[in-house]
Amino acid sequence: MVQNSDAERSAVPERDKELREREYQAYQLRLLNEYLRELFFLEDRGEIAEQFLLMCMGAVGTDKALLLVFDEQEESALHYRGFNDFRVQRLREDAFVQAQQHLARDDRDNELLPKQILVISTNEQEAARDSRLPWPEDSCFIVRWNLDSGCFGYLVLGPKLDGSIYFDLDRDFLLQLSQVLMDSLQMVRSREEIHRLNADLMSKNQELSQTIEELQKSHETISILQRTRDRLHGLIHSEAARLERVSAWDFVFIVAVTLIISLLYNTTSPGGVSLTPATWSLPEPEMIDTDRAAEIYEQDGAVFVDARPNQFFEQEKIRDAVNLPSNLFDFIYMMHFAQLDPEKKIIVYGRNISRRYDETVAFELEERGHERVLVMPGGLGEWKAKGMPVAP
């Protein structure tokens, strides 16, 4: 019975202790829960670190906490609360130099595995003995965490305010918190990677759209050039085809050249001729119509002169007419007219559409002193029509 009550007596503090531990654990879990919820919205490494420090301090009940973060992608950072500034500055210098060496080292011995956490000390004595870094005074609980070979750090906590040691519960909880810290940092890294990739993608997109725009412009230029080329091509070909055809300008050109050269040559050449008919410059001869001439012919009152060229005269003439063509005028005049009485009436005929032989010869005769020279413009045609005699 006594034994039983002893057992019961000793069981009561055991239960109390267990109860307290459960409450403590529950408190820590609430904190963890809260911390996780807050972390979810944080994107900045600094804020995450600060939040982490506060959480650690709250969880174990200490006013001194320090977090070192080394990252090869980011600048290394140191966050602390409660520790002496001077000692912390020393720690910072040494730690950063060491971290630089560590990060630069190719062969990384004694490396922790990714996501591994190493507890370096849990009390002040252990912390003082550790020579890794010049830990500040009052360092008590020291943990090294390792996200991966490129990102690692230390968590340092001072003594608990209630003077108690760090229990296993504290230790476990701090390890859990450190795990969460590493997860958060990894998440930030992932987010940053995503941002970076996105930005990359955006710039690539921009480049792409610029390229597309340029391509479009080039395409337009090419099509304009192509159209221009086609037009030129068509123009040249139609021009070539046009050149092959006969054009009115050809005639204009040839006629103009002919006129210029021929008229120039005619003015300068000694064999040139007057462009107007010679008879235009002669005085108007006295005319006689065919009826009157026929009367005179029947009275034998005049000499009839045929002024046409000889071959026409040979073909047909007024009977008894004398041929006196202007090109043989002097010769024939000498033969037939030199002795003719200047008072004798002379009737000259012979003209056609192209020549007025009669007027020329009449003028020549008047020049020789014959006073009664008459021109019969009706000619051989009217003569024959009146039934007057002709000779072959």
Partner 1 sequence: MSTKTVYNFMLRLLTSKELAFIFRLYIGGLFVYASLYKINYAVEFAETIANYQLVPYWAVNFLAVTMPWLELICGLMLIIGFRAKAVTVIIGGMMVMFTVALVINVIQDTPISCGCFSTSDELIGWHTVLRDVIWLGMIVHIYYFDRMFHLENRFLALLRRI
Q: How far is the CB of 246 from partner 1 (least distance, A)?
A: 5
Positions 331 through 390 that interact with partner 1 (CB under 8 A): 352-356
Structure tokens of 126? 């252990």
What count of Cα atoms within 13 Å lies in the side-chain half-sphere of residue 351? Answer: 17
Residue 256 touching partner 1 (CB under 8 A): no
Q: Please, are residues 133 and 154 in contact by the beta-carbon 8 Å criterion?
A: yes
Of the listed pieces 28-36, 43-51, 58-66, 248-256, which binds partner 1 according to CB under 8 A? 248-256
Of the listed pieces 144-152, 186-194, 211-219, 268-276, which binds partner 1 according to CB under 8 A? 268-276
DSSP letter for each residue of 204-226: HHHHHHHHHHHHHHHHHHHHHHH
Cβ nearer to partner 1, comparing 89 with 247: 247
DSSP letter for each residue of 7-49: HHHHHHHHHHHHHHHHHHHHHHHHHHHHHHHHHHH---HHHHH
Beta pairing, strands 151-157 & 141-148: antiparallel
SS3 assignment for 275-314 = CCCHHHHCCCCCECCHHHHHHHHHCCCEEEEECCCHHHHH
* Token pair 């002669």: residue: 282
Of the listed pieces 100-108, 153-161, 210-218, 255-263, which binds partner 1 according to CB under 8 A? 255-263
Of the listed pieces 57-65, 84-92, 247-255, 384-392, which binds partner 1 according to CB under 8 A? 247-255
Positions 308 through 337 that interact with partner 1 (CB under 8 A): 309, 311-312, 314-315, 327
Residue 194 touching partner 1 (CB under 8 A): no
Residue 279, classified by CB atoms within 10 Å of its CB into exposed (0-12), middle (13-18) or buried (19+), is middle
Q: How far is the CB of 254 from partner 1 (least distance, A)?
A: 6
Residue 243 touching partner 1 (CB under 8 A): yes
Cβ nearer to partner 1, comparing 124 with 382: 382
Using CB under 8 A as the criterion, which residues of the chain lie in contact with partner 1 when the complex forms?
A: 232-233, 236-237, 239-240, 243-247, 250-251, 253-255, 257-259, 261-263, 265-266, 269, 271-277, 279-280, 309, 311-312, 314-315, 327, 352-356
